[in-house]
Amino acid sequence: MVLDDLGSSLRGTLDTLQGKSRLSEDDVEAIVKEIQRSLLSADVDVSLVMELSDAIESRALEEEPPGGTTARDHVLKIVYEELVDLVGDSTELPLESQTILLAGLQGSGKTTSAAKMAWWFSKKGLRPAVIQTDTFRPGAYDQAKQMCERAEVEFYGDPDAEDPVQIARDGLEETADADVHIVDTAGRHALEDDLIAEIEAIETAVDPDRSLLVLDAAIGQGAKEQASQFEQSIGIEGVVITKLDGTAKGGGALTAVNETDSSIAFLGTGETVQDIERFEPSGFISRLLGMGDLKQLSERVERAMAETGDDDEDWDPEDLLEGSFTLKDMQKQMETMNKMGPLDQVMDMIPGMGGGMMDQLPDDAMDVTQNRMRDFEVAMDSMTDEELENPRVIGQSRVERIVRGSGIEEETVRELLEQHKMMDQTISQFQGMGDGDMQRMMKKLEQ
Ligand code: GDP
């Protein structure tokens, strides 16, 4: 994830301030140095780094921490605000009819992002269509078509046509019923004159409402030149940063945003059509600083709930806080978790779990967890309603029947029952909390 290193190194430095109520000049200098080091090693442009660190330094020295605030929280707030300011607001994307043009070098993730964005708009209730005008890269047509099928969105392309401008025009006509048109364009390995001429011609033909530049998070200092070239030729309203699931540093993309005086529209976090997030500056920086991104998490939960909710309308997560926690509740929870996406991404959004904590787990730990969840689900499918509602009735002979019915090993079935018991106990603790405790906990999470 972008600037991950900043989050963890900064937390380390901030931890040394624990217990202090005032910051000395040395403290501020140490923090600012750490921020500079992390940003520079993440490929953020030097002048941007200086601007940011100057602002943090003067605010940390001049502003009085509000009463009751520790020096650590005060400085964290300043760093947070300045970073939010640096990345800026997300690109405005009204949920209405529009044409979006995607530009970028070959391999930056344009085609993938086109399908992902179409999926995103379709989930918002709009009717998107992707128009593939890339006649340069063999395979671009098939790739786009397949991804759009997976995203269940309309697609237009013509593998036999040679003129991208004509494809764009035909595409807009053929998909006239759609409300959001996403026009994917060809890239080249480098910025070449013919690429620029082609995209200018397409831009004139489709007259987009906004043009977005797609950048691989791994892009380094080259981002500046690329961004300014595209900015000059077609005008860039927003940036899509892809491959944030990798080890990329991402600083170059921030530089590009600054260079084009634009903003970030979307983040790409994987290879499937659902791996896209609308950029939310505050959530993004909270996550970066290891504060967890509650807003993103709750959006994912809501989306997953909406999808799982269809077949069991009686199930309400709030019921968890009342009455007993059954295996059925646990099964629902697992379905929801599965729909929210890869467990490690979900964990990254939970306060206290993100910011490199997952890196400390062995690589296969998450796979094991996901395989285990699948086994649990299969075992539960072999249980009767009575057993799901009241797992206490499951004795040895019932365990043996479930093992025979599901083909899941006895050890795993026992682990499932054990896990349920643990979750049940945890939830009972929540139930015992008074409203005041609950409010304090929520407040803490929101900070
Ligand atoms: P284009 O040439 O700009 O259209 O790029 P593609 O959409 O074909 O993407 C190039 C490669 O990057 C493909 O293998 C994609 O699967 C991969 N890719 C795109 N976006 C992401 C992302 O967010 N995460 C990961 N891991 N891979 C991505």
For residue 311, the CA-to-ligand 1 centroid distance in Å is 34
Q: What is the dihedral of CA 219, 357, 306, 98, to 10 degrees?
A: -20
Q: Is residue 379 part of a domain?
A: yes
Q: Is residue 303 part of a domain?
A: no
Most confident of 180-184, 263-267, 339-343: 180-184
Q: Is residue 302 part of a domain?
A: no
Which residue did the predictor score with more confidence, 227 or 348? 227
pLDDT of 357:
44
Q: Please, which pLDDT band fits residue 106 given cuts at 50, 70 and 90?
A: confident
In this structure, the answer to whether residues 183 and 276 fall within a common structural domain is: yes
Q: Which long-range contacts (CB under 8 A, 24 or more apart) does 282-285 make?
A: 282/84, 284/87, 285/80, 285/83, 285/84, 285/87
Tell me the pLDDT tens digit for each residue of 29-38.
888 888 888 7
Q: Is residue 403 part of a domain?
A: yes
Which of helix, strand or coil describes residue 102? strand
323: CATH:
1.10.260.30
- Boundaries of domain holding 262: 98-288
In this structure, the answer to whether residues 246 and 323 fall within a common structural domain is: no
- Quick check: 288 and 1 in contact, CB under 8 A? yes
Which is nearest to 191 in space by CA: 232, 219, 225, 240?
A: 225
In this structure, the answer to whether residues 325 and 400 fall within a common structural domain is: yes
For residue 216, the CA-to-ligand 1 centroid distance in Å is 8
What is the atom index within ligand 1 of the atom nearest the CA of 242? 23
Q: Is pLDDT at 120 greater than 60 in this prediction?
A: yes
Q: Which residues line ligand 1 (CB under 6 A)?
A: 104, 106-112, 143, 187, 242-243, 245-246, 268-271, 275
Q: Is pLDDT at 329 greater than 70 in this prediction?
A: yes
For residue 268, the CA-to-ligand 1 centroid distance in Å is 9
Q: Please, which pLDDT band fits residue 266 given cuts at 50, 70 and 90?
A: very high
In this structure, the answer to whether residues 264 and 356 fall within a common structural domain is: no
Residue with token string 């530089």: 255
Most confident of 16-20, 83-87, 402-406: 402-406
Per DSSP, which regions of 55-200 are E strands? 98-103, 128-132, 154-156, 180-184
- Which residue has the least CA distance to atom 9 on ligand 1? 109
- Is residue 116 part of an annotated ligand binding site? no
End-to-end alpha carbon distance in the chain: 22
Q: Is pLDDT at 370 greater than 70 in this prediction?
A: no
For residue 391, the CA-to-ligand 1 centroid distance in Å is 45
What is the atom index within ligand 1 of the atom nearest the CA of 143? 8
- Which residue has the least CA distance to atom 22 on ligand 1? 243
The domain tally of the chain equals 3
In this structure, the answer to whether residues 114 and 246 fall within a common structural domain is: yes
In this structure, the answer to whether residues 117 and 187 fall within a common structural domain is: yes
In this structure, the answer to whether residues 128 and 251 fall within a common structural domain is: yes
In this structure, the answer to whether residues 284 and 323 fall within a common structural domain is: no
Q: Is residue 39 part of a domain?
A: yes
Q: Is residue 104 part of a domain?
A: yes
Q: Is residue 298 part of a domain?
A: no
Tell me the pLDDT tens digit for each residue of 209-218.
999 999 988 8
- Quick check: 394 and 380 in contact, CB under 8 A? no
- Quick check: 364 and 371 in contact, CB under 8 A? no
150: CATH:
3.40.50.300
Structure tokens at 19: 């217990």
In this structure, the answer to whether residues 327 and 273 fall within a common structural domain is: no
Which residue did the predictor score with more confidence, 446 or 382? 382
Residue with token string 């900064």: 10
Residue that is last in its domain, among 288, 323, 340 = 288
Whole-number Cα distances in Å, 114 to 152, 267, 370: 13, 12, 29
Residue that is last in its domain, among 58, 87, 116 = 87
- Is residue 244 part of an annotated ligand binding site? yes
In this structure, the answer to whether residues 116 and 240 fall within a common structural domain is: yes
Tell me the pLDDT tens digit for each residue of 139-148.
889 999 999 9
- What is the number of residues in the chain? 447
- Is residue 436 part of an annotated ligand binding site? no
Average of per-residue pLDDT across 350-354? 49
Of 147, 199, 242, 247, best ligand 1 pocket probe by most atoms within 8 Å of the beta carbon: 242
Residue that is last in its domain, among 223, 257, 288 = 288
pLDDT of 46:
85
- What gap in Å lies between CA 54 and CA 40, rounded to an integer? 14
- Quick check: 214 and 104 in contact, CB under 8 A? yes
In this structure, the answer to whether residues 117 and 245 fall within a common structural domain is: yes
Q: Point out which residues pair with 266 in neighbouring strands.
A: 240, 278
- Quick check: 116 and 267 in contact, CB under 8 A? no
- Is residue 374 part of an annotated ligand binding site? no
Q: Is residue 57 part of a domain?
A: yes
- What gap in Å lies between CA 204 and CA 183, rounded to an integer? 13
- ipTM exceeds 0.95: yes
CB atoms within 10 A of CB 204: 11
- What gap in Å lies between CA 445 and CA 439, rounded to an integer? 10
Tell me the pLDDT tens digit for each residue of 202-250.
999 999 999 999 998 888 777 888 888 899 999 999 999 998 877 666 6
Average of per-residue pLDDT across 10-34? 79
- Is residue 229 part of an annotated ligand binding site? no
Tell me the pLDDT tens digit for each residue of 183-195.
999 887 767 788 8
- Is residue 416 part of an annotated ligand binding site? no
Amino acid found at 332: K
Average of per-residue pLDDT across 309-336? 61
Please list, in sequence order, all residues whose beta carbon lies within 8 angstroms of the beta carbon of residue 146, skipping any fewer than 6 positions away: none
In this structure, the answer to whether residues 132 and 264 fall within a common structural domain is: yes
31: CATH:
1.20.120.140
- Quick check: 132 and 141 in contact, CB under 8 A? yes
Q: Is pLDDT at 129 greater than 90 in this prediction?
A: yes
For residue 219, the CA-to-ligand 1 centroid distance in Å is 13
